[in-house]
Amino acid sequence: MSARKKGVAAPEDLFARRRKALVERMRKQPGGDAAVALFFSGEEQNLVPFLPDPNFYYFTGVESPKAALLIHTTPQKSDELLFLPAPDPAAERWTGKVLTAGGLTESADPDPVRRGAMKRTGFGSLSAYHQIEEALVRPLRAARTVYLDFPEDAIQGPIGLTQLFWERLRARYPFLELRHLGRLAGGLRRLKGPEEIRALREAIAVTRDAHAAAAGHLRPGMREYELQALVEYAFKVGGAQRLSFPSIVGSGPWSCILHYEKNRRTMKAGDLVVLDVGARKDFYCADITRTYPVSGTFTKRQRKVYDVVLAARDAAVAKVKPGVFVHEVHKAATEVIAKAGLGKYFFHGTSHYLGLEAHDVGSYDEPLEPGAVITVEPGVYIAAEELGVRIEDDVAVTAKGCEVLSADIPREARDLEALLAEPRKKIIL
């Protein structure tokens, strides 16, 4: 399990503390002294790599599909129960050994498989996933409130496991009050602990090396997908297991499309290319953008726009500190761009939270606090000139201000040009 890697606290320490903090928040809610909370890890889709639900992983450190976490609070105590998949030897011929719930011996003690799972996860109580509804019967007799973790895009997205589960509960227990567990979880996830900052640094370091690899090969005549392949190769070599989001490699006219993902165009001399990429390492995401001149040097017009965006980035970063709201960071960037007469070409937010997700959870109606990590990414997109510039860094709020976690990735125009002036490396296939 990734949670036991060097530098990250063991589950019984880190994840148990997080669950304790969640219970404290539940108890502060009306009716929270008799409540049930349930997280699902999610289920595998055919031939799609499984990624556990971020909230479930945050409180358990468990990566298994078909797993769940049940927390039951009363005025006297709280109980927690982890559900894991039941052993399935036939399935393991396809998937290999996975973490399972094991079973009980004839004397009703945990068998060796279950004891091993309890030791690995740090949970004192463990059961099989298919026994969730049976395990809920007793807690629901006393509970007044049920907390479920609904997806934020529930209106637009497909009906998921959590919604279907609530429909069954509501039919049987119509007196229960439903509350959104994700909002409580988001309040905790918004502020990162030291182990999370370390994980983010690692993801950012991998992304830094990927940007260096891309800059070392960039030249006119390359396809955008060749640059994408170099970036994602560097991710893998650096130990990143996944992408934070689909890589954006937008050149020429596509530099003005914010979430361009086709990456098929041949880059030409005189183009700018917006490289917006992020490695996801041990579940934590980096999100870093640089804009490179494909020919190696900016034109006079490109340099003028680039320097405006860089000044906006600097002004926004200077604003990041405890007590400041994210909209104030955005205002600092927009004022610089508007003063340069380019205000109408900046039409997205400057910042979002970063963590277990590229667009991580957390309230934007609360001021920044130490431990919050946000992106700072102003941009100017002049479609008529096929001129798009975005500069993005990852910034941690500290007690005295902030730290740019991606500070060692070149961003000054002269530094980019110096980097691109070095001999181009050939792609060897």
CA 282/CA 284 separation, integer angstroms: 6
How far, in Å, CA of 11 to CA of 255, rounded? 43
What are the strands, taking DSSP E only, across 28-156? Answer: 35-40, 68-73, 78-84, 126-128, 145-148
Is the pLDDT score of 12 beyond 80?
Answer: no
pTM of the predicted structure, to 2 decimals: 0.93
Confidence of residue 156 (pLDDT cuts 50, 70, 90): low
Q: Looking at 88-102, 319-333, 385-399, which range is the least confident one?
A: 88-102
Tell me the pLDDT tens digit for each residue of 192-213.
999 999 999 999 999 999 999 9
The pLDDT, as a whole number, for residue 8 is 39
* Residue 80, strand partner residues: 71
pLDDT tens digit string along 27-81?
988 867 789 999 999 988 887 889 999 999 999 999 999 999 999 998 889 999 9
Mean pLDDT of 163-189: 90
Residue 3: the pLDDT is: 42
**Longest CA span, the chain:** 80
Q: What pLDDT is recorded for position 381?
A: 98
Read off the pLDDT band of 155 (50, 70, 90): low
pLDDT-based confidence at residue 303 (cuts at 50, 70, 90): very high
Mean pLDDT, the chain, integer:
93
Determine the length of the chain.
429
Per-residue confidence (pLDDT) for residue 1, from 0 to 100: 38
Task: Please check whether the two domains, 2-189 and 194-421, share a CATH topology.
Answer: no
Cβ atoms < 10 Å from Cβ of 4:
12
May I ask the CATH class of domain 194-421? alpha beta
Confidence of residue 2 (pLDDT cuts 50, 70, 90): very low
Would you kindly state where each structural domain of the chain is located, as residue ranges?
A: 2-189, 194-421
> Residue 227 burial by CB count (10 A; 0-12/13-18/19+): exposed, middle or buried?
buried
In angstroms, the CA 389 to CA 393 distance is 14
Q: How confident is the model at residue 428 (pLDDT cuts 50, 70, 90)?
A: low
Please give the CATH topology (third level) of the domain spanning 2-189.
Creatine Amidinohydrolase; Chain A, domain 1 (3.40.350)
Nearest to 40 by CA among 50, 27, 30: 50
